[in-house]
């Protein structure tokens, strides 16, 4: 897994992140979703590393990175805090400007990176997501039925107790899909009570402080200033919920591309070659 990539743990000003990096060329930061670790990229990262330096961290609260301290506003788990970690990590590795690609919950940190740090982000890729404020503002019975976990995870204590009663049944996953090493890494994470709490806190932040940050940007008329690629899974819920996914992103971006991929939600694992080719084409053309 991740041949010729270096695995290390980096102590940053506000967090400690585990990351892998390898390859040569312009830098690309890959951010995983829930409940995965950086290992979800193990099939995609080597393909990108033929042309780019690729950096894959565990976000704070996930995998083997540090768990934020609990506060009433969940600020330590906010996408702003995680975006700040990413900038610090990339500076530590010698990269002041870089592309960022985020999947699922990682896409919200990628989006926040582009909004808060426009001088650092050269290109933005979003996989299977719309802005948090858009999802919550458009919430209806279909969203509540399909994505009920957003609101369950927002409750105190009970989500962790439910997940930890049987993490394998709750989250699923298999070595056949993920690869043996990636599956073991993921399984270690979902069986660790501290990590499960950190992952759930990401959702609690989403319903509060992250939504407020999006609302502040919208009121101020701020947009992503770099080229933006939106990809979504045709076998998941985004088209069902929003119809034209790109139309949701248009008010938030200035240069927009995107399409659906014929796969399920875990795109880096289910369609790694197609996804890598889409990312490479985007990075080379924009």
E strands of 131-252, at which residues?
224-233
Backbone phi, psi, residue 128, to 5°:
65, 55
DSSP 52: S
Known catalytic residues are 104, 265
d(CA 25, CA 28): 9
d(CA 31, CA 102): 5
Instruction: Report strand pairing: 224-233 vs 121-127.
Output: parallel
- Tokens 């409940």 label which residue? 35
Alpha helices in the chain (DSSP H): 45-48, 79-92, 105-116, 132-137, 141-146, 149-153, 158-165, 167-171, 175-178, 180-190, 193-205, 211-220, 238-242, 245-249, 267-270, 272-285
d(CA 166, CA 202): 20
């Amino acid at each position: 897994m991740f041949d010729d990539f270096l695995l290390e743990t980096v102590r940053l000003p506000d967090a400690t992140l585990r990351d892998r990096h390898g390859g040569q060329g312009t830098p690309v930061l890959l951010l995983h979703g829930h409940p995965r670790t950086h290992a979800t990229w193990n099939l995609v990262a080597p393909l990108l590393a033929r042309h780019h330096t690729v950096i894959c961290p565990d976000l704070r609260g996930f995998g083997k990175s540090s768990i934020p301290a609990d506060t009433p506003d969940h600020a330590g788990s906010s996408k702003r805090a995680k975006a700040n970690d990413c900038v610090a990590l990339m500076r530590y590795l010698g990269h002041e400007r870089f592309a960022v690609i985020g999947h699922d919950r990682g896409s919200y940190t990628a989006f926040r990176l582009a909004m808060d740090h426009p001088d650092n982000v050269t290109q933005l890729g979003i996989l299977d997501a719309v802005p948090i404020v858009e999802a919550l503002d458009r919430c209806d019975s279909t969203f509540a039925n399909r994505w009920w976990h957003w609101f369950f995870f927002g409750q105190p204590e009970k989500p962790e107790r439910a997940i930890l009663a049987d993490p394998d049944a709750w989250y699923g996953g298999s070595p056949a899909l993920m690869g043996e090493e990636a599956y073991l890494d993921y399984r270690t994470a979902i069986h660790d009570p501290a990590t499960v709490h950190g992952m759930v806190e990401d959702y609690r932040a989403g319903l509060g402080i992250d939504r407020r940050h999006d609302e502040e940007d919208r009121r101020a008329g701020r947009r992503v200033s770099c080229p933006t690629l939106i990809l979504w899974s045709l076998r998941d819920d985004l088209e069902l919920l929003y119809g034209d996914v790109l139309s949701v992103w248009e008010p938030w971006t200035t240069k927009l591309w995107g399409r659906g991929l014929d796969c399920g939600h875990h795109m880096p694992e289910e369609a790694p070659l197609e996804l890598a080719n889409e990312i490479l084409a985007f990075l080379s053309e924009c």
